[in-house]
Amino acid sequence: MASDKFVMRHIGPRDHEIQEMLNVLGVSTLDELMNQTVPENIRLKQPLKLEDGLTERQYFRKILALAAQNKVYNTYIGMGYYDTITPAVILRNVLENPVWYTSYTPYQAEISQGRLEALLNFQTMVCELTGMEMANASLLDEATAAAEAMVMMHNSRSRAKAKTDANVVWVDEKVWPQTLDVLITRANPLGIELKIADWKNFELNENTFGVIVQYPNSDGQIVDYTSLVKSAHEKEIFVSVAADLLSLSILTPPGEWGADIVFGTSQRFGIPMGYGGPHAAFFASKDAFKRTMPGRIIGVSKDAHGNRALRMALQTREQHIKREKATSNICTSQALLSNMAGFYAVYHGPEGIKQIATRIHCIAALLEKEISALGYTQVNTTYFDTIRFALPRHVKHEDIEWLSLELEMNFRYFENGEVGLSIDETTNLDDINWMIEVFAKAANKPFGKIVDYPTACTIQPEFLRTSAFMQQEVFNKYRSETEMLRYIKKLEHKDISLTHSMIPLGSCTMKLNAATEMLPLSWIEFNGIHPFVPKNQARGYHEMMEELRRDLAEITGFADVSLQPNSGAAGEYAGLMVIRQYHISRGDEHRNVVLIPSSAHGTNPASAVMAGMKVVVTPCDERGNIDVEALRLKAEEFKDTLSCFMVTYPSTHGVYESSITELCEIIHSHGGQVYMDGANMNAQVGLTNPSRIGADVCHLNLHKTFAIPHGGGGPGVGPICVAAHLVEFLPSHPVMNNGHVGITAVSAAPWGSASVLPITYGYIKMLGADGLKRASEIAILNANYIANALKDNYGVLYTGENGRCAHEMILECRHLKAASGISETDISKRLMDYGFHAPTLSFPVHGTLMVEPTESESKQELDRFIEALTGIFNEIQAVASGELDKEDNPLKNAPHTSDVVTADDWNHSYSRQTAVFPLAWLKENKYWPPVGRVDDAFGDRNLVCTCEPIENYK
């Protein structure tokens, strides 16, 4: 293979090693291994119709040419997206830093203390600015956060005695149109009646469980909602407020006027607009909601030595445990972006944030004065950053439009002909003068030049914030770039990411996120564009997205693709809503039963409930396969009400079930649709596809299979791919024509998290048809190589008919626990001493570890991992035989911190060397866990989820 081929950089093992590995498995070619692994009846007969892979250099030129077709104008549209300045120290050391972007969701707390602290900063900042008691570590976007608020209020009805049957939520007509649209989508299947009106006309009664308003509202007006809050609370009705986070540094925060829930986007805290995303939504509430709050909450706890340690709190609420009883399906959220927003707050501090907000307001106030003097009428009586002008009779808004475009500016045009300007952090004196020039020329009036930044504030005193915020040390300590850099690095050094070692998390596909794929993310031509600008300013984006949709359709065998969902779980929900609409369009609205195998990921049943479906669980047999006869019986039993079947393929058990086509036929013959969870697509690309298997719709996790990094828990992109009969139901958008006319929106942005799509685009363009297939083959080879090495000590729980696993395998640990008392958790923690992140713990089978190496790991790394797990196996044997103490052993005491092993006393029954250097190669690349084993239960009993100084955590 030519040495400039990207495939040889993306794939770990060299050709001669591939041959060695095949020899170990007793096969002579990759084809032979594929024939033993992937069932014949679903194999693709033709290669993918994609271009040949580009070299990195060729791709770089291609994406540069696309970037050049995007035009970056100054944009004053607002509507939830604002230009912002990402401090370069954060851009370079967080966004562009693989330690931050390749790490995984902090399920393993001990090796995630750095990003946990960054997320705790984010939560603290949100609580402080909103004036609320609790906040989570981010949601997908502002509109879905609104939907989560609605559902949380609905689920909390029973706490208000009189409200257990209430199903009406009143929403002010002046929330963003995209927020309204997503609320409509979510309310409908749950039987929630959404009433949209001017908030002054809300009819609050015993049927009302909640209200939602926006502050400042979609006109930019700051509204005094105290009377609404009062009358709502008198009737035990909850109040949710969408708020502009930046404005809350100068406006009285909703928490101080009684809101129960406050949500919104943290985009303007240094996160580029990115043509719609990714950005982190924030979500804060009163303490009383802590057990029903969606998403992840980071909390403070202690480790085995009594030291402060962070971890995700209240994990029992996760969908994995609650499944169809879960109230939200949030899994991947927006961790990387919330880390960045938190760092922005750390860097600017309370006075910096306040200065930014004040400057923005003062510019708006100046523009009001200057433009009003030209004969325009500003209609917002009090505002933060947004002014809205009615035009004098002789001025046409078309004139304003072309004059502004001439100067490369985008304004907002209201339906009634008024023109809006939303000012942001980047607005400077030139910009101010250009804006005035446009209004002056359109009115045929002379204008003078503004030479000084304005300082006059026009906000009425009763709206001004008087309380202090962000007084915690972390927000008041790092002002110089050197200090900030060192703080970021201090946190980063605590964590394991792909820069250290393989992350063998089954179902998560932690493959290479190539530098060439990542580069365009930092280019202003991709990240500097507002999602609602005229499409001719985003030609490069649209050409890229068209091609990407076509390629993903080819890869899945489907007809069309929606890029809107912002995570895998959001894709599940969107796909199920599409199926629901399909049935409704045929007069089959009663079809609402979804069959889900017991082995499914927890988000599947959670998403199904959100789509208003009734979940019926179907069993697996002792070999881990879906029980065909049981499924047939269920399909017959529910033949009149069957909506669909949700299936993961290859199964979450790591096996290609050959019965899959039969399963799909059974569902179709009973009037149902087949939804395929595409999380395991890394075992399909180029070998088979969801359409071939018999599915009608699937989501893809671009942040698993298609090289978007995991970001420590997001961003994600979960596009849905559908067969021809479902295309007409794909999600539309209320502001932009996104090419689809089906259900209302599922995300705030028309094309979801557009700015990370070049990563997937690059991945596909550089691998090409051959490289993509090769990636799947090597992923399968790597998994079988590990399975073969560990089958005799741990044991591989499930394999296919020829004894092969797919791209991942489940390692059995239960017999080890029975013999030694060492659990799968002990093994996971001990792996940290060996420098590895644990595999997926106890999913989908309790007491096991699921390992997925991916194609990107080299043979030497696989061998290191095998050596580590074998070393741990030997330690377990020593415990079982009594050679090591049952309690005081390196497994139960893992992970070992440097503090513990360098302490003057060491009274364990094993040596310090055994504790921290169990294998020789650790000496040249040792990872030191910063804390000992974290006590989860303690933190849940004493919930603290902000970085207040806390007493008594020992």
Q: Which residues bind ligand PLP (CB under 6 A)?
A: 331-332, 507, 567-569, 601, 603, 648, 652, 677, 679, 701, 716, 718
Please give, one letter per residue, the 3-state secondary structure of 55-70: CHHHHHHHHHHHHHCE
Torsion-angle region of 879 (φ positive above 0: left; ψ -120 to 50: alpha; else: beta): alpha
Write the DSSP assignment of 499-526 as a string of letters: TTS---BTTT------HHHHGGGG-HHH
User: Which residues, in sequence order, are bridge partners of residue 213?
Assistant: 241
Nearest distance from C-beta of residue 557 to ligand PLP, angstroms: 20
CB atoms within 10 A of CB 768: 20
CA angle at 711 for the pair 92 and 558, rounded to the nearest 5°: 120
Indicate the helix (H) or strand (E) that contains 562: strand 560-562
Helix axes 113-130, 481-492, angle to 10 degrees: 120
Distance CA 738, CA 410 (A): 19
Distance CA 611, CA 644 (A): 12
Nearest distance from C-beta of residue 262 to ligand PLP, angstroms: 24
Q: Which two tokens stand for residue 378?
A: 């500003």
Q: Which residue is nearest to ligand PLP (CB)?
A: 568
> Which residue number, 652 or 889, has a Cβ lying nearer to ligand PLP?
652
> Which residue number, 494 or 601, has a Cβ lying nearer to ligand PLP?
601
> Which residue number, 144 or 691, has a Cβ lying nearer to ligand PLP?
144
> Which residue number, 130 or 673, has a Cβ lying nearer to ligand PLP?
673
Write the DSSP assignment of 820-849 as a string of letters: HS--HHHHHHHHHHTT----EES-SSTTEE
> Which residue number, 677 or 812, has a Cβ lying nearer to ligand PLP?
677
Q: Which two tokens stand for residue 545?
A: 């997205």
Task: Name which of 319, 186, 179 is nearest 263 in CA terms.
Answer: 179
Distance CA 494, CA 498 (A): 13
> Which residue number, 735 or 783, has a Cβ lying nearer to ligand PLP?
783
> Which residue number, 593 or 679, has a Cβ lying nearer to ligand PLP?
679
Write the DSSP assignment of 406-440 as a string of letters: HTTEE-EE-TTS-EEEE--TT--HHHHHHHHHHHH
> Which residue number, 220 or 295, has a Cβ lying nearer to ligand PLP?
295
User: Is the peptide bond prior to 690 cis by the omega test (within 30 degrees of 0)?
Assistant: no
Nearest distance from C-beta of residue 704 to ligand PLP, angstroms: 6
Asked if residue 313 lies in contact with residue 430, where contact means CB atoms within 8 angstroms, the answer is: no
Q: Dihedrals φ, ψ of 433, to 5°?
A: -65, -35
Nearest distance from C-beta of residue 544 to ligand PLP, angstroms: 22
Nearest distance from C-beta of residue 689 to ligand PLP, angstroms: 17
> Which residue number, 252 or 680, has a Cβ lying nearer to ligand PLP?
680
> Which residue number, 320 or 639, has a Cβ lying nearer to ligand PLP?
320
Nearest distance from C-beta of residue 582 to ligand PLP, angstroms: 22
Nearest distance from C-beta of residue 648 to ligand PLP, angstroms: 5
Nearest distance from C-beta of residue 840 to ligand PLP, angstroms: 9
Nearest distance from C-beta of residue 849 to ligand PLP, angstroms: 15
Nearest distance from C-beta of residue 105 to ligand PLP, angstroms: 8
Nearest distance from C-beta of residue 678 to ligand PLP, angstroms: 8
CB atoms within 10 A of CB 56: 18
Sheet (strand 840-841) strand order: 809-812, 848-851, 840-841
Nearest distance from C-beta of residue 859 to ligand PLP, angstroms: 26
Beta strands of 350-482 (E only): which ranges? 377-378, 386-390, 409-410, 412-413, 419-422
Indicate the helix (H) or strand (E) that contains 211: strand 208-215
> Which residue number, 302 or 699, has a Cβ lying nearer to ligand PLP?
699
Nearest distance from C-beta of residue 59 to ligand PLP, angstroms: 26
> Which residue number, 102 or 603, has a Cβ lying nearer to ligand PLP?
603
> Which residue number, 531 or 568, has a Cβ lying nearer to ligand PLP?
568
* CA distances (Å), origin 928, targets 873, 881, 908, 923: 21, 29, 19, 11
* Residue keyed to tokens 């669909």: 644
